[in-house]
Amino acid sequence: MEKNKLRKKTLALLASLDKAEHDEKSSKLAELLFETEEWKRAHFVGVTLARYPEIGTEAIIRRAWQSDKTVAIPETIYPGHKMQFREYKKGDQLIKKKFDLFEPSEEAKLVPKNQLSLLIVPGVVFNSAGYRIGFGGGFYDRYLTDFLGDTISLAFYEQVNEELVIEDHDIPVQKVLVV
């Protein structure tokens, strides 16, 4: 199936999930993440501020802060569809940017790529080899080209599809946790 059609179909399926079921599955994925060696050894965690129907990340951010991990969230850069990560602390001001995404302000400390020890990579569709279809901007594929830290994605079973077509620029994550 074509990438855009697969993305739209999967996003519609996610949006149709019962909110309570969605929250419960997001919570289970967070708990699975907390049990990984990658999470346990991470000092700097890169994670998005999820928007429904994405898998929730609030619990991940809270646990990171409770565990004295530094949290970094992405800031998108246009033109060029690039991104960088900035430190995110409780109470920090966020700015609503393109696509109604909340991102850090320019006052937030920039986190160099080589300091991120774990990157939670979002996506819409995944296969068992770690390849993914994202939201269509290519931001993470560009960022991952020379990223040396650990990469994990979180997915509901509804997001796993082995028919995903892999393109030359696609970079897989090391691990996909699924519930």
CA-based nearest residue to 75, from 52, 51, 44, 98: 98
Residue 81 pLDDT greater than 90, yes or no: no
Between residues 101 and 41, which one has the greater pLDDT?
41
pLDDT, position 89: 96
DSSP 54: S
Q: Is 7 annotated as a binding residue?
A: yes
Give the residue extent of every domain in the chain.
3-178
In angstroms, the CA 74 to CA 82 distance is: 10
Whether 86 has a binding-site annotation, put simply, is no
Residue 126 labeled ligand binder: no
| pLDDT, tens digit (0-9, with 9 covering 90-100), for 7-42 | 999 999 999 999 999 999 999 999 999 999 999 999
Q: Is 162 annotated among the ligand-binding residues?
A: no
- List pLDDT tens digits, range 138-176: 899 999 999 999 999 999 999 999 989 898 889 999 999
**Mean pLDDT score of the chain:** 94
The answer to whether 106 is annotated as binding is no
Tell me the per-residue pLDDT of 160-169, one tens digit each, with 9 for 90 and over.
Answer: 999 898 988 8
Is 91 annotated to bind a ligand? Reply is: no
Backbone phi, then psi, for 136, in 5-degree steps? 110, 0
Q: Write down the pLDDT at residue 168.
A: 87
- Assigned CATH for 3-178: 3.40.50.10420
